[in-house]
A = this chain, B = another copy of it.
Amino acid sequence: MSTAQETTGGDVEPWEEVTPDAARRLLVAAVEAFAERGYHATTTRDIAGRAGMSPAALYIHYKTKEELLHRISRIGHDKALDILRTAARREGTAAERLADAVGSFVRWHAGRRTTARVVQYELDALGPEARAEIVALRRQVDAEVRGIIEDGVASGEFDVPDVQGTTLAVLSLCIDVARWFNVNGPRTPEEVGALYADLVLRMVGAG
């Protein structure tokens, strides 16, 4: 189980920061619908129906369908960044911190797959300003992982010829979990997290 923490599954039901209750139910319904069919293929009638409300109710809590996606994407990226920061800033060697970061990041992408799918794959559906805000968060995500790898190179733990390229590959590997992970498949999020932490340590020459 490597360095499992409560960073992923331990916290209470997510979206608790969204109030009032009806707004949260609509948002959770939208996450499910967007993850299943994609943003453009999801209708406002479908979202409202999943939340047990009439189509018009959506517009009491959100100005447009796009605002729903924006809120989901913002909260999701905040959470993902928080997970990475927690791992990056703990004590330990660079290898321990990288394994922890990859493990918890992967557990989140697998365990909260519906959210992660929307967060990672529906960026292009946002308008220019909203997209710019999210892109800034992604740059911070990149910086956290790159920081750990740079630390490992500086301390001699890692052997990495192309730090930026390797950072990109590590993040790409983790993010793509949201595309293929199957809740009914043979692997648990914990198992995938442990496997990926090992693979990434090998990629940086610390395996």
With A162-B195, A195-B162, A205-B207 known to touch, is A172 a contact of B173 (CB < 8 Å)? yes
Once the chains bind, are B207 and A202 in contact (CB under 8 Å)?
yes
From B125, B166, B180, B198, contact of A199 by CB (8 A): B166
Interface residues in A29-46 by Cβ distance below 8 A to B read: 37-38, 40-41
Interfacial chain B residues near A161, Cβ < 8 Å = 198
* Other-chain contact of A165, B40, B41, B187, B203 (Cβ < 8 Å): B187
Measured in the bound complex, the distance between the Cα atoms of B196 and A161 in whole Å is 12
- A124: chain B residues within 8 A (beta carbon): 37-38
Which of chain B's residues has its CB closest to A195's CB? B165
Is A176 an interface residue when CB atoms closer than 8 A count as contact? Answer: yes
- Residues of chain B contacted by A165 (CB below 8 angstroms): 187, 192, 195
Does A175 touch B at the CB level, under 8 Å? yes
**Which residue of B169, B176, B205 is within 8 Å of A195 (Cβ)?**
B169
Question: Are B203 and A199 closer than 8 Å at their CB atoms?
Answer: yes
Contact-residue size bin, chain A (C-beta under 8 Å from the other chain): 20 to 34
Nearest B-chain residue to A204, judged by Cβ: B202
Residues of chain B lying within 8 A (CB to CB) of residue A41 = 40, 125
Cβ of A98 within 8 Å of any chain B Cβ, yes or no, is no
List residues of chain B with CB within 8 A of the CB of A180. Answer: 168, 172
Q: Tell me the bound Cα distance from A90 to B207 in angstroms.
A: 29
- A121 CB → nearest B CB, Å: 7
Q: For the complex, is A177 an interface residue (Cβ under 8 Å from B)?
A: yes
User: Which of B37, B176, B203 meets A176, CB within 8 Å?
Assistant: B176
List of B residues within 8 angstroms of A169 by Cβ: 173, 195-196, 199
Interface residues of A (CB under 8 A from B): 37-38, 40-41, 121, 124-125, 161-162, 165-166, 168-169, 172-173, 175-177, 179-180, 187, 192, 195-196, 198-199, 202-203, 205, 207
